[in-house]
Structure 1
């Protein structure tokens, strides 16, 4: 009574957990899809659907839009600057309030630029750290998936090799079983599936490796070049290296646009990593309803019931036949040392593998050659010991050894076969990702996009300040006549040439006096 209650409770809990997981994943992936008229994507986590990819990539739209606007703004600014220099050259000498502010608080401007540069250095270091952490974990995930796929492929080839060997041996010695008739098509399906998994794994892993390495390289390169350009700008500014500073500003402007775009990309990767980790967790509950099977198939084409049932039925019949022959031999030769073979498969119609049915020390079909070695006189060179148990004429030792070893090979790989067709092999690989890689993977992605957002914002402030300072310097803020007239313009008063000369003389004396 209690056992039935516990089983029902466990089943209800598993069902509730599964439904909750699917509900969370479905809700999480409900995003704006630019390929579907900006409507909400409702297809759930499906890595084979282009609408899932478009809606997930679109989550980084803030970075993409800002990057585009920043680049367009730079182009407009350069165009405006060139136009003003060509067509409005005479108005370039106008002295504004902002020019006066920059001249009056030049030291504060320099200090602010230094502080912003320090922040850029810190943000760049954090960005590189987050990028390296994210990509190292992404590579670890790739290696786990790749090794799981290779293990699945190797298991399939072991299965088909053992089955084919057993079939060939059966044909060689004119033994037939109805179970073997169904295995030919199964072997073909398994071989084609192994080739497909291997090709798909190699292709996907190659693309993933290329993508991971490329993104990591361009992110670190952009970050490093941007930092070098900022430091060069900071050095060239006080040295009045106008051309160098102008080139640095233009270069940093383009790099800042790239940094905004990288921010959007890493934000998308954070969302995708979260989706994938939740899907991997869901896969362990219900692999049949998960699109992750497209990465490493475990039960879509690998018909576990056909493989396990037919192979189990064939070996079950063979062992029963062997035991029947042993009974005949024992009846004719009275050999007490010849034990019956333990059958690890249940009877029809299930033919389930039950290794616990064979206790430790029980004779297996693979032990038959060793047993026969103790009983056949050909191994002992004849003599009085062979008189009562001479089975040499009744047993073809080579035939038995070949036949039993082929069957034992199938039994040896049967646990691996069960792990494959029951998805335990793939579940174990995905569980390793969920347990050891998901948290640091997402932490690295969040660190990268947060640092990139901060770095891009600070670069925007620094470049705006540098442009303002450069524009103010181009209008000669040290011109005393412009400065004084600017100061007196706020009172709407007129100043004569004599008053200006007197103010200029006072200003010169103040500068010269120690």
Structure 2
């Protein structure tokens, strides 16, 4: 029971790392080197009538619990049929464990009863004696080899899961950093909007975006803590179970071989009882890892197919509650509106106070170039005019229009005004820069890219090494099971051989 529980904990961990994290707000890197960015492309309309069955071919397997019918519903952890079809793959191992435990136990009881009632049938076969010895040696070698493979594969699974977790944590840290930056820019934008007397809707829009960011950030932190704790418990439980099995099987196998050869009957039968229980537990653990291997394989295929089909409806949509397109557009429009009005406020200051026909304006001074607004009034992408400056070089260009503190030139940008405008530019650019990031965070684009990375870099290793683990467990189980039989056979023939020689 302890072994099965440990493996089950690791199964829960796997679901958590790929599913709970996907609901929490893990980000991907936003490439900001190309501006302006048409973020409208990030939120294309969904094809509501299209449904994709994830991992259809891989998950098509016989469901023992459904009259041995094939399951055809694809990957769907909320579907009882899918869960039962995966559990069905482990049932043969659980059945073998039960049969072994019952049958071997009954046969041992019958043999002991026969021995007590009728004594030993003194017969000896030279062929049976040597054959049992050869098989005993081979089974012992197979047990040791299987345990070595088991330990090696467990180390590789642990390393792969650790690397996967490090990747996820790096995404969490990157996201938290971006969320902090966005929050800081929004705080600055709120202060600026009050100072400039911008429309009240702008302040409401800033508050709305900040609220969504706070919810996402809090959810991210909570899920990260929960998943990390479950990861640690599940991973350590799995390691303890596998290492315990490997060490126990090696010790029992070697001691059983030695006590059989030496004819230590009492110790041998104690080891037979221990091996009998261990074999049953190892078969159960084998079944648990077959189940785990299939879940990992199914989930990896499902993640890949879901990531490559962003406009279709799938079972993954129920697991990952991404924001609907309407809310994505609303958030996007709010962030665009903030940037649009901030840039317009800068250009109003430049046009009216610096380039305008006022008394303080020096007509001989050149006009200060306007800042390029990346959006039109309807918030579509706008291309910069030739005389406008972009976010990236506005501060540098305007600096040439700013006299020093002791310069009494009239009509140019004062140092204090220059600092005010560059502050607004930095805030506007920051919000514009993080606009795609916010959309990715909300509409699950980041999850799709993360799933692709996990599927390409970590899934192959997890599939390979979990398969090695359950095959190693099967080899060890069968080898020890046969060893128990040959221990008894060889010990009886050794006892009869000594009786014949003495007589």
Query: Scaled by the length of structure 2, what TM-score is found?
Result: 0.77
Q: Aligned partners of 1:344, 1:443: CA distance in 2, in Å?
A: 49
Structure label with greater radius of gyration: 1
Cross-structure match for 1:209: 232
Which is worse superposed, 317-326 or 416-425?
Answer: 416-425
Correspondence list, 1:339-358, <5 A: 339-345=369-375, 347-349=376-378, 351-352=379-380, 357-358=383-384
Describe the shift of the 1:203–1:24 C-alpha distance in structure 2 as closer, same or farther (beyond 3 A): closer
Cross-structure match for 2:197: 174
Describe the shift of the 1:183–1:76 C-alpha distance in structure 2 as closer, same or farther (beyond 3 A): farther
Q: Quote how far apart the aligned CAs of 1:411 are.
A: 2.6
Q: Aligned partners of 2:246, 2:451: CA distance in 1, in Å?
A: 33
Cross-structure match for 1:364: 390
Cross-structure match for 2:348: 324
The structure whose RCO (Cα within 8 Å, separation 6+) is larger is 2
| Match for residue 305 of structure 2 among 273, 282, 297 | 282
Q: Aligned partners of 1:78, 1:273: CA distance in 2, in Å?
A: 39
Describe the shift of the 1:23–1:173 C-alpha distance in structure 2 as closer, same or farther (beyond 3 A): closer
Cross-structure match for 1:486: none
Asked whether the equivalents of residues 293 and 463 of structure 2 are also in contact (C-alpha less than 8 Å), the reply is yes
Asked whether the equivalents of residues 285 and 473 of structure 2 are also in contact (C-alpha less than 8 Å), the reply is yes
Q: Quote how far apart the aligned CAs of 1:274 are.
A: 1.3
Asked whether the equivalents of residues 376 and 392 of structure 1 are also in contact (C-alpha less than 8 Å), the reply is yes
Which is worse superposed, 207-216 or 267-276?
Answer: 207-216
Asked whether the equivalents of residues 279 and 290 of structure 1 are also in contact (C-alpha less than 8 Å), the reply is no
Cross-structure match for 1:4: none
Asked whether the equivalents of residues 127 and 451 of structure 1 are also in contact (C-alpha less than 8 Å), the reply is yes
Cross-structure match for 1:387: 409
Q: Aligned partners of 1:206, 1:138: CA distance in 2, in Å?
A: 14
Q: Aligned partners of 1:203, 1:287: CA distance in 2, in Å?
A: 28
Q: Quote how far apart the aligned CAs of 1:278 are.
A: 0.8
Cross-structure match for 2:75: 45
Q: How many residues align?
A: 449
Q: Deviations over 1:30-61 (max 9, x none)?
A: 55667878876665323355664444233211
Describe the shift of the 1:271–1:390 C-alpha distance in structure 2 as closer, same or farther (beyond 3 A): closer
Q: Quote how far apart the aligned CAs of 1:258 are.
A: 2.0
Q: Quote how far apart the aligned CAs of 1:194 are.
A: 2.1
Which is worse superposed, 429-438 or 359-368?
Answer: 359-368
Q: Please, which runs of 5 or more residues in structure 1 have no aligned partner?
A: 1-14, 481-506
Q: Aligned partners of 1:372, 1:260: CA distance in 2, in Å?
A: 75
Q: Quote how far apart the aligned CAs of 1:190 are.
A: 2.6
Describe the shift of the 1:232–1:240 C-alpha distance in structure 2 as closer, same or farther (beyond 3 A): same
1:438 aligns with 2:459: yes
Please identify which structure carries the higher helix content.
1
| Match for residue 238 of structure 1 among 249, 258, 261 | 261
1:310 aligns with 2:310: no
The CA RMSD measured in Å over matched residues stands at 3.6
Cross-structure match for 1:193: 216
| Match for residue 88 of structure 2 among 29, 42, 58 | 58
Asked whether the equivalents of residues 177 and 314 of structure 1 are also in contact (C-alpha less than 8 Å), the reply is no
Q: Aligned partners of 1:72, 1:167: CA distance in 2, in Å?
A: 73
Correspondence list, 1:404-415, <5 A: 404-415=425-436
Q: Quote how far apart the aligned CAs of 1:91 are.
A: 0.9
Q: Please, which runs of 5 or more residues in structure 2 have no aligned partner?
A: 1-46
Q: Deviations over 1:384-433 (max 9, x none)?
A: xx33435549x645543443332232133234335434544323322222
Correspondence list, 1:22-37, <5 A: 22-23=52-53, 25-30=55-60
Describe the shift of the 1:309–1:284 C-alpha distance in structure 2 as closer, same or farther (beyond 3 A): same
1:455 aligns with 2:476: yes
Cross-structure match for 1:6: none
Which is worse superposed, 120-129 or 409-418?
Answer: 409-418
| Match for residue 252 of structure 2 among 226, 229, 234 | 229
